[in-house]
Each structure stands twice: as C-alpha cells, then as structure tokens.
C-alpha cells in the first residue's frame, strides 16, 4: 500500500504557540517521508529537549525524546544497532549548537547515516527566550539585557570545515522548499545537517517570518551554483548580508558504519545471538 501523509499523523495535536515555525518543519518532515514512500515503522525519530524536541510526539514513527544536547549520540546508537532504519534527529539551536555542539563536531567527522534538523530560532524557546549561539550580536534577551556580546556562530561554515558531506539550510516559512531539501538530506548516504530558520513568534520579535523572507535567497535559483564544489559552498557559507537557503554542499565519503570492522554489513539488531555462549563471562560475576 502506498504511504500517505495521513499515516504520519498522530491523534495528539501539537501544543506549540500558534504561528510557531515548528509547525512548518513538522509538515515538511511528514511530506518528505511521504514523498520518499518510507513507511512509518522504518523511521526512528530522536529529539533533544526544547520546543523543537516535542516534534517526535506528533509524527507517527518510532520516537524518542532524549536529553538536552544529547540527541545525536542517542541517534548514533540507534543507527548502529539497526541500520535499516531511517534516522532523523531534531534539536534547537540551543541544544544543537550550545550544549550539544561537541556531539555535532564528532558526528560530522564520523559521517553516520542520519539527518539532523536544527530548529534555528536564535533563542532558547522552551526556557523563555534567552540568547543562543546563533543569536545575532547585540541581540537583547533575558540573559543578554544589554545585547549579546559574542559574534554569532556560523553553523554552515563550521560544518563544512569539519568534513560534512551534506550541509543545507531551509526556512520553516517555506515548507515546500524545505520538503525538497529534507528529501535530499534523507536520501543522502551519510550525516546530513539541515539548519532551519524557525521563527519563535513568542520570544524572538527580531528574527520573524518577515525577517527571514527579506534576508534569505534561494540557492536553487542561483545560476552556476554547484553544490559539489567545496570552495563555492564555503564562500556562500561565509557570505555577509543575505543568507543563502538550499543545499550548500554535498559530497561522498564512506559512512562510519560501513567502516566498522567486523560488522560492516551486519546491524547489531540482526546478529544471531542464539549460539553465543556467555557462561564463561557470567561465571566471572557469579
Ligand atoms: C542538561 C540540561 N540543561 C538545561 C536544561 C534546560 N533546558 C530545557 S530546554 C532548554 C533550551 C531549549 O532551547 P533550544 O535548544 O534552542 O530549543 P527550542 O526550545 O528553542 O526549540 C534548556 C536550557 C535541560 N533540560 N537539561
Ligand atoms: S516558545 Fe517559541 S519556539 Fe516555543 S512553541 Fe512558542 S513560538 Fe515555538
């Protein structure tokens, strides 16, 4: 039976603030999975803590709401144990680029096959609007009342410099374009980072839907842009002024799991353990 959009709906309804950009991301995820005809039971969706993290409650697939900053290691374990699953991971910019940035660095190096969606609203949404690593310099918030002193993090350039094989940016306000990006990210063999501009309509009154509309342009419409050209991608990532949205970069490199010695073709979940004798091991502890 063909997979339909409604297969991904849940009975429970999201409790995000009306107008939150997370709605657009949720629609795009469901639509991308439908377009790719991936059955719900073949998807594992791991999330961080935050408003963004609640997404796994409202997409009808295997979901795991993990710890703040720790969604990537949990998802890595899922993929290593069952490589047949399509693994999606979601986090906010606080979880993904703040407390969890170390895990992102190593995930980029490892290139485990999964898609990492960062709901980049440039604030900590769930804890009421404090600045995050992607807040613009000068951004005033409860934790930066005189304006953010630090330069904001450039996740696109960071990912490229760490050997990323898929780097993209989308906008929650354009769910159609975001769906196309997510389809490519999910199909990509390796770690795909998709940063998504996601307006937090309650706490961020600067980086709004209108702001992102005015300050982005679509890379797909840029004549001559080659997403397989690292130099071009880095130039775009470092560009000052408007933000490019679309797939900045894609390349091929063996995944971590393919290179895992002895287990290159066997997921742990498929190992035949019936004949394994653990009595000697157990003897040590009895
Ligand atoms: C280890 C840990 N530190 C801090 C918190 C408190 N906390 C919960 S959500 C959150 C921030 C969420 O912001 P972000 O990751 O940007 O996601 P958003 O809510 O904006 O989607 C924080 C600091 C926590 N739950 N666990
Ligand atoms: S606080 Fe912001 S990010 Fe959280 S649900 Fe409301 S609008 Fe969305």
Query: Per-residue pLDDT tens for 102-111?
Result: 999 999 999 9
Phi, psi at residue 107, to the nearest 5°? Answer: -65, -40
Checking if the pLDDT of 272 tops 90, the result is no
Q: Which tokens go with 165? A: 């094989």
Say which residue, 278 or 42, is predicted with more confidence: 42
Strands, DSSP E only, in the chain? Answer: 43-47, 62-65, 86-92, 114-120, 123-124, 130-131, 166-171, 191-197, 216-218, 243-250
202 lines ligand 2 (CB under 6 A): yes
Per-residue model confidence as pLDDT tens digits over 122-162: 999 999 999 999 999 999 999 999 999 999 999 999 999 99
Lowest mean pLDDT among 4-18, 76-90, 185-199, 250-264: 250-264
Residue pair 219/244 in contact (Cβ under 8 Å)? The answer is: yes
Ligand 2 nearest-atom number relative to CA 203: 2
Instruction: Report all structural domains of the chain as residue ranges with CATH numbers, in order of start.
Output: 5-285 (3.40.50.970)
Query: In this structure, how many other beta carbons lie within 10 angstroms of the beta carbon of residue 173?
Result: 20
Q: Is the minimum distance from the CB of 99 to ligand 2 under 6 angstroms?
A: no
Structure tokens at 217: 């342009």
Share of the chain above pLDDT 70, in %: 100
Q: What is the pLDDT of residues 8-30, one digit of tens each?
A: 999 999 999 999 999 999 999 99
pTM: 0.95
Ligand nearest to the CA of 204: 2
Residue in 125, 132, 198 to alter for ligand 2 test, most ligand atoms within 8 A of Cβ: 125
**Pocket perturbation via mutation, ligand 1, pick of 20, 116, 121, 126 by most ligand atoms within 8 A of CB:** 126
User: What pLDDT, on the 0 to 100 scale, is given for residue 274?
Assistant: 85
Nearest CA to ligand 1 atom 4: 68
Is the pLDDT at 268 greater than 90? The verdict is no
């Amino acid at each position: 039976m063909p997979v339909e959009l409604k297969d991904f709906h849940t009975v429970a309804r999201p409790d995000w603030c009306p107008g939150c950009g997370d709605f657009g991301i949720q629609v795009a995820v469901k639509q991308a999975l439908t377009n790719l005809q991936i059955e719900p039971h073949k998807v594992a969706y791991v999330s961080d803590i935050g408003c963004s993290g609640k997404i796994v409650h409202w997409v009808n697939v295997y979901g795991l709401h993990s710890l703040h900053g720790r969604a990537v290691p949990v998802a890595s374990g899922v993929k290593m144990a069952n490589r047949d699953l399509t693994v999606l991971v979601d986090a906010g910019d606080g979880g993904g680029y703040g407390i969890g940035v170390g895990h992102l660095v190593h995930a980029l190096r490892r290139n485990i096959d999964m898609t990492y969606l960062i709901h980049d609203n440039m604030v900590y949404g769930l804890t009421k609007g404090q600045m995050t690593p992607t807040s613009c310099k000068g951004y005033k918030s409860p934790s930066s009342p005189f304006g953010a002193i630090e330069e904001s993090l450039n996740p696109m350039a960071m990912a490229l410099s760490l050997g990323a094989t898929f780097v993209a940016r989308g906008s929650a306000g354009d769910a159609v374009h975001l769906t196309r990006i997510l389809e490519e990210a999910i199909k990509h063999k390796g770690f795909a980072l998709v940063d998504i501009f996601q307006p937090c309509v309650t706490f961020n009154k600067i980086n709004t839907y209108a702001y992102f509309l005015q300050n982005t342009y679509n890379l797909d419409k840029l004549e001559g842009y080659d997403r397989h050209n690292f130099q071009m991608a880095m130039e775009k990532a470092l560009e000052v002024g408007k933000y490019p949205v679309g797939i900045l970069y894609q390349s091929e490199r063996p995944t971590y799991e393919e290179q895992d010695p002895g287990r290159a073709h066997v997921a742990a979940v498929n190992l035949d353990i019936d004949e394994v004798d653990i009595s000697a091991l157990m003897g040590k502890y009895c």
